[in-house]
Chains A and B, each alone.
Chain A
Amino acid sequence: MATVQVSEAEKLYVLHGVRDDLRVDGRGCEDYRHVEVETDVVSNTDGSAKVSLGHTNVLVGVKAEIGKPKPMVPDEGYLEFFVDCSANATPEFEGRGGEGLGIELSNTLVKVFSNKHCLDLKSLCISPGENCWVLYVDVLLLQCDGNLFDAISMAIKAALFNTKIPKVHICEDEDGGKEIELSDDPYDCVRVNVENIPCIVTLCKIGHRHVVDATLQEKACSVASLLISVTHTGMVTCVRKVGGGSLDPESIFEMTETGKRVGKALHAPLMELLQKEESLGSKRQKVGFLG
């Protein structure tokens, strides 16, 4: 991952700040940076969203394609995740440099999002055992300044909220063969229910305390971090320890509690914002990258 070099003196400064609940940029330990969300930024996709969290910038595009359901679950559709760590974010990612991080991120996303508790996968089924919708969720990292998971999860939730899957009609011909007909009307579409989609909260252990939404600099000072995905009801769907150091069980418990509290509070403003943007419809002034 993109890293910064931090000297011993800087480390101590960050550490003492966190101890006194005052971080380098003036935030408290449980505060997020300024978040900006915009949906429908790429018109070639079925749903897209751009999220910036401080200097971290991600773009998510969702494309719906018709595919074959997995043999184990013939009556469900599925999601595919791909994270593109582009060289735009940092020159380290040039060529194949970003592949490792990309695979790590996408594998975690599969664990967090691709299960039936988050998303009604049955609604993605077209005809059991034969056809289903496959949602390709492609994440593009444009700028990294720590806390990728939280930004990506917010962007995925926003992009899925924005996703419009065209309605299909199944016609049967004389020989019993099935044919799928896509609706021509772009407004004749199905929306994805994003209510239960979790948001990820990453907590970084710095000294004896933990902080949410760590910048790269703070991440460099922390030993290990804990990733928690929380739904709007406060249900924890995934917990993972990331990073090289170790955590004692007691602090994991404390961090889970904080993560639950912070994560639960994250959903309401996000949904409110998305709904507000949606209600403006075509009247909305699209800003994209031009603003």
Chain B
Amino acid sequence: MAGIELLSDQGYRLDGRKATELRKVQARMGVFGQADGSAYLEQGNTKVLAVVYGPHEVRGARSKILYDRAVINCQYSMATFSTAERKRRPHGDRKSSEMSLHLKQTFEAAVLTQLYPRSQIDIYVKILQADGGNYSACVNAATLAVIDAGIPMRDYVCACTAGFVDDTPLADLCHAEESGGGTSLAVALLPRGGQIALLQMDARLHQDHLDTLMEAAMTACKGVSKVLDEVVRQHLQEMSILTGE
């Protein structure tokens, strides 16, 4: 591949990670008091804030109402200062509309929407700092926020990206690796059942490599799910101490 060397001969990546190593994931639930559920997540240098409102009555057009399940409404936006070059608008461009749609699709697969007919669940995510893997960081943060809101889900939804360089799959791409133009596969996984909620690949890849790449992405997702589970348990423990139970 032209340009910078993404994987050294010794098997290390630009930021010193091994091929299958994830970036450091840190998260906190319940950052804001006013929302029904909120969470903040850092995946390496990518920082995301997710907020959930609902389930509540459907706002706006009544034609949106679904009589057998809840409507999931997502908005993805990026802070104008989140990227290296300043953005003009935080949302409403083509890329963020697409991202909102992907998030909606992901959470429709995970949230038990049939429990809340004729209602709406709002999931708003905001990228505060972008450094690759925006979609996956958003999904991971939104999962925590949905859990914080107490909305039942089939399982955690964990997302991660994977790339492919020199016959080696790379887990959890950072911005430098993503912008090289190589293959990038984003997977959102319900880890317990191994169900895939969203799958998207940019750029082409030989069919023979697809299995290994998928395998790498799914392993990475399972790694993320362990961290998320840890965060949720920690949060619950803190909460139960605070409420004295």
Contact = CB atoms under 8 A, between A and B. Distances in A.
Contacts of B31: 289
A138 interface: yes
A266 B79 CA distance: 28
B128 A42 contact: yes
Interface in B90-104: 90, 92
A43 interface: yes
Contacts of B59: 91
B20 interface: no
A90 B33 CA distance: 12
A204 to B, nearest CB: 20
Contacts of B126: 86, 88, 140, 142
A290 B79 contact: no
B82 A44 contact: yes
A57 interface: yes
B164 to A, nearest CB: 27
Nearest to A134: B86
Interface string A71-112: 000000000001010111011001110000000000000000
A58 to B, nearest CB: 12
B80 to A, nearest CB: 4
B129 interface: yes
A142 B35 CA distance: 10
Given A44-B84, A86-B124, A140 B79 contact: yes
Given A88-B51, A143-B32, A289-B31, A43 B129 contact: yes
Contact of A61 (B32, B75, B80, B130): B80
A87 B59 CA distance: 14
B28 interface: yes
A88 to B, nearest CB: 5
B53 A91 contact: yes
A167 interface: no
A267 interface: no
A62 B79 CA distance: 12
Given A87-B124, A91-B53, A136-B81, A44 B32 contact: no
B228 interface: no
Contacts of A65: 86
B34 interface: yes
Given A55-B33, A86-B90, A94-B75, A61 B124 contact: no
Contact of A94 (B45, B79, B124): B124
Contacts of B79: 42, 59, 61, 84, 138, 140
A87 B145 CA distance: 14
A88 B40 contact: no
Contacts of A43: 45, 129
Identify the interface centre among B34, B49, B122: most chain A CB within 10 Å of its CB. B34
Contacts of A94: 73, 75, 122, 124
B237 interface: no
A164 interface: no
Interface string A41-65: 0111100100000010101011101
Given A42-B128, A136-B86, A290-B26, A145 B34 contact: yes
Contact of A42 (B28, B34, B35, B81): B81
Contact of B42 (A57, A144, A290): A290
Nearest to A65: B86
Given A82-B80, A145-B34, A289-B49, 11 more contacts: A42-B79, A42-B82, A43-B45, A59-B79, A61-B80, A84-B90, A86-B90, A95-B75, A143-B35, A288-B40, A288-B47
Interface of B: 26-28, 31-35, 40, 42, 45, 47, 49, 51, 53, 59, 73, 75, 77, 79-84, 86, 90, 92, 122, 124, 126, 128-131
22 contacts: A42-B79, A42-B82, A42-B128, A43-B45, A44-B84, A61-B79, A61-B80, A86-B90, A86-B126, A87-B75, A87-B124, A88-B32, A88-B51, A91-B122, A95-B92, A136-B80, A140-B126, A142-B32, A142-B126, A289-B31, A289-B40, A289-B47
Which 5 residue pairs are nearest across A and B when measured between Cβ atoms? A61-B81, A289-B40, A87-B124, A138-B80, A88-B51
